[in-house]
């Protein structure tokens, strides 16, 4: 696989999105299983979920090198 093909397939951005999806799912399950979440735990979960908009924007607006 050449570098050009690697870039056209956007392998790295796709791996980053998959990693973020896994992290979001893990945090969601962890947070929903807490009996009484503290403010710090709620803030952590909100930051992880809120980062999704930024990650998705970078992924969608990123253009592969030509």
Query: pLDDT digit string (tens) for 3-12?
Result: 787 777 778 8
The verdict on residue 22 lying in a domain is yes
pLDDT digits (tens, 9 = 90+) for 2-59: 778 777 777 887 888 889 889 999 999 999 999 999 999 999 999 998 887 787 777 7
The verdict on residue 43 lying in a domain is yes
Structural domain of residue 53, as residue ranges? 3-61
Average pLDDT (59-64) is: 72
The verdict on residue 66 lying in a domain is no
The verdict on residue 38 lying in a domain is yes
**Per-position b or e across 24-52, b if 16+ CB within 10 A of its CB:** beebeeebeeeeeeeeeeeeebeebeeee
The verdict on residue 42 lying in a domain is yes
The verdict on residue 56 lying in a domain is yes
Give the helix/strand (H/E) hosting 5: helix 3-8
* Total count of domains within the chain: 1
The verdict on residue 29 lying in a domain is yes
What pTM was computed for the model? Answer: 0.73
Residue for token digits 């952590």? 44
């Amino acid at each position: 696989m050449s570098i050009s093909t690697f870039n056209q397939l956007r392998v790295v951005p796709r791996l980053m999105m998959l990693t973020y999806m896994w992290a979001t799912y893990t945090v969601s399950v962890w947070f929903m299983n807490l009996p009484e979440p503290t403010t710090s735990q709620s803030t952590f979960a909100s930051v992880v979920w809120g980062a999704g908009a930024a990650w998705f924007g970078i992924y969608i607006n990123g253009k592969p090198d030509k």
